[in-house]
Structure 1
Amino acid sequence: MNIRECELPGIGQKIEIQTDGNEKIVVIMHEDGQREIYQFDSMNAEESSGRVTLTDEESRQIAAILGGIIYKPKAIENLEHAFDELVFEWCKVDANERIINRAIGEIKFRDEFGVTIIAIIRKNHERILNPGANETFHKGDTVVLSGERAKIQAVIAKLFN
């Protein structure tokens, strides 16, 4: 995959993505948070064959879907995704966990452990992306953690075992 970026003065940023399958996608990230995504036909790389316009919130939700935060295939349920030092881990809140009915801010994931909660998926499939400090944990929740491998392991050992 080949990625090229350029600044669009007064507009924002343009990112061109050429996939390994020779497909071209262009993303325009406007300064106001709006995103435009253009798909180009491999036969005519100069004229787009489709366009989608997204708000900042819609873009973040789609990023979560594509990044595997919303749906995690069973085949990789226990697999960590590592990007250099950054790791994502899915942890299930069981009945014996020390975090049930406690707020994210109360546990101080970021300050005390250096770990970020990027999503909570409730037992009823409700998805809370980028939860705030007042969000509480419930039995059956799946918590998506992000941070360095050693820090994630320390949180799991202290709070999820």
Structure 2
Amino acid sequence: MYVRESDLPGIGKKFVVETRGGDKAVVIIHDDGRREIYHFRYDEPDESISMISMDDDEARQLAAIVGGLTYKPKALETIDMALDELIIEWYRIEPAYYGVGKSIGELDVRQTSGATIIAIIGKNQGKQINPGPEVIIHADSTLVVVGERQQQRLFKQILLNGSG
């Protein structure tokens, strides 16, 4: 999934969400707590085909449902057991991060943090699965990283400022 975020001065924030399946939605969070969700056509990505408006408590309830807080599919229970303490995190790389322009090997990610970069998604949606140590980290890409909670914390510190 690809997410772009932008400020709407005097209104709130706008999130443009594009799923792997090609769906596009825009979520606007107003400063007063209201939320608007717009769904767009596949063949005409600028034409909204539906819209829903919610107040803050309705949006939070929907988020709990979608996020699996009220019901967890049985298939995911087995994945949780298989992963046990492992967590998969997605890190959007900002231009100011220490790791930008450095290779995975230069950052010594696995040896220093214990976490493993399992994929890189470029800003043009190009994907690199299981990148090697020679792969350079670029701004505006997304890193998919697997590791235990403490390993994820160390990884984030390496990414941000070069030290675990």
In the superposition, the TM-score normalised over structure 2's length comes to 0.48
TM-score normalized by structure 1? Answer: 0.49
More helix, by proportion? 2
